[in-house]
Amino acid sequence: ELGGYNHFMQKEIHEQPRAVADTAEVFLDGGFIPENFGKNAAQVFQDIDSIKILACGTSYYAALTGKYWLESIAKIPTDVEIASEYRYRDVIANPKQLIITISQSGETLDTMEALKFAQAQGHQHSLSICNVMESALPRNSELVLYTRAGAEIGVASTKAFTTQLVVLFGLSVTLGRMRGTISDEKLASYTQELRELSGSIQHVLNLEPQIAAWAQKFAKKSSALFLGRGIHYPIALEGALKLKEITYIHAEAYPAGELKHGPLALVDENMPIVVIAPHDGLLDKVKANMQEVSARGGELFVFTDLDSDYTSNSDTIHVIRTPRHVGTLSPIVHTIPVQLLSYHAALARGTDVDKPRNLAKSVTVE
Ligand code: F6R
């Protein structure tokens, strides 16, 4: 069942080139057309003026990432909320707002109740992005697109997350096409990026030995900080969640620009700082933030890419280079190293990787 791997989590991390390609096939073979989301999706997508995404945990971080694409590619205002918070507040219902739920299991009670609450408030349009066929969320939604990750058994979500991101990207391009916010050239380049995604993920998987070497150092630490900016901030959040879930090391994530507003006080030589620093428009800002950390004695573990000119000039700055900058889909590619880092840190600490203490795969209680 493990197919030569030691844990389901490791197997599922390594299945991502396949899982992502299978999920992308919907768009690459069928085109970025509304019908991928359901028979009357074209009508629904024409009716809506905004989107709200509801989810929990890792699926919530997928939603946060998706917001960047929905707003930059499709220019559609998008809110993201933790399902368990949304359901307990006074909301302003908007019948023209599409409610999207994201869930691996499709059975998360908080997300399900949030959807019912939205519907009871007068939201008419709903879309479920889900990995389990015919589970509660897709059954109760008007539209659905299934991720094709295959069964995810490890409690820590990995391939479900990256495939959710593929669907959110596909949705953004689909809506962008319908709304005329993307040119034909842009469409061609998005298509090409999606085609190349699995290969880029495979390249990162090949860096596993280097990442495992870093993980040995993390295993001895009691706390870690993850930094990212822009669309890579949710990936920092996901990295911190993975680390705490399976290694029980306290971890937090911050948008790097927030450091000086508080968390810089935590920085010392004992707390490793992981930075997601791809070659995008924010790299110079991130470099300045890393400088702030170094100046206070912090040890940096930086994931950058082959296009970036960032190099280490000190033995407390460690750099791993992911493949060439992959543009819009960079957050998907940069998820892989933080998954591997947590996995190998957990191995070094001897924790139960696939069944972390106190957690369940599907949370069907409040
Ligand atoms: C993290 C993790 C959880 C789930 C969350 C939502 O690795 O697995 O945070 O992401 O419980 O679960 P789903 O996606 O099934 O609704």
146-192: pLDDT as tens digits = 999 999 999 999 999 999 999 999 999 999 999 999 999 999 999 99
Q: What average pLDDT does this structure show over 25-50?
A: 97
3-7 long-range contacts, Cβ below 8 Å, gap at least 24?
A: 6/347, 7/154, 7/343, 7/353, 7/354
User: Do the beta carbons of residue 153 and residue 354 sit within 8 Å?
Assistant: yes
Answer yes or no: is pLDDT of 59 > 90.
Answer: yes
The identity of residue 307, as a single letter, is D
Average confidence score pLDDT of the chain: 96
pLDDT at 274: 98
Residue 55, beta-bridge partner list: 82
pLDDT at 304: 95
Answer yes or no: is pLDDT of 236 > 90.
Answer: yes
Q: Give the closest residue to 301 by CA, choosing from 314, 283, 288.
A: 314
**Binding-site residues, ligand 1, Cβ < 6 A:** 56-59, 103-105, 108, 111, 156-157, 241, 245, 362-363
| Residue 349: band (very low, low, confident or very high) from pLDDT cuts 50, 70, 90 | very high
| Residue 362: band (very low, low, confident or very high) from pLDDT cuts 50, 70, 90 | confident
Q: What average pLDDT does this structure show over 111-117?
A: 98
pLDDT at 366: 85
Give how far Cα 313 sits from Cα of 37, 132, 294, 310, 352, Å.
49, 47, 11, 10, 37
162 CA distance to ligand 1 centroid (A)? Answer: 13
| Residue 364: band (very low, low, confident or very high) from pLDDT cuts 50, 70, 90 | confident
Q: Name which residue sits closest to atom 4 of ligand 1, judged by CA.
A: 57
pLDDT at 326: 84
What is the gyration radius of the CA atoms in the chain, in angstroms?
20
Answer yes or no: is pLDDT of 325 > 90.
Answer: no
DSSP label at 298? P
Q: Name which residue sits closest to atom 3 of ligand 1, judged by CA.
A: 57
pLDDT at 208: 97
| Residue 230: band (very low, low, confident or very high) from pLDDT cuts 50, 70, 90 | very high
Q: What average pLDDT does this structure show over 249-259?
A: 96
Answer yes or no: is pLDDT of 55 > 90.
Answer: yes
pLDDT at 206: 97
State the pTM of this model: 0.97
77 CA distance to ligand 1 centroid (A)? Answer: 25
pLDDT at 360: 87
Q: Name which residue sits closest to atom 16 of ligand 1, judged by CA.
A: 103
Residue of 104, 111, 137, 163 to mutate, ligand 1, most atoms within 8 A of C-beta: 104
The identity of residue 310, as a single letter, is Y
Which range (21-25, 66-70, 81-85, 306-310) has the least confidence?
306-310
Burial readout 66-76 (b: 16 or more C-beta within 10 A, e: otherwise):
bbbbbeebbeb
Percentage, residues of the chain above pLDDT 90: 94
Q: What average pLDDT does this structure show over 283-297?
A: 93
Q: What average pLDDT does this structure show over 237-250?
A: 97
Q: Name which residue sits closest to atom 9 of ligand 1, judged by CA.
A: 57
57 CA distance to ligand 1 centroid (A)? Answer: 5
Among 244, 287, 355, 361, the one annotated catalytic: 361
Q: Name which residue sits closest to atom 7 of ligand 1, judged by CA.
A: 156
Q: Which tens digits make up the pLDDT trace of 189-217?
A: 999 999 999 999 999 999 999 999 999 99
217 is catalytic: no
pLDDT at 133: 97
| Residue 323: band (very low, low, confident or very high) from pLDDT cuts 50, 70, 90 | confident
Q: What average pLDDT does this structure show over 279-303?
A: 94
62 CA distance to ligand 1 centroid (A)? Answer: 11
Answer yes or no: is pLDDT of 1 > 90.
Answer: no
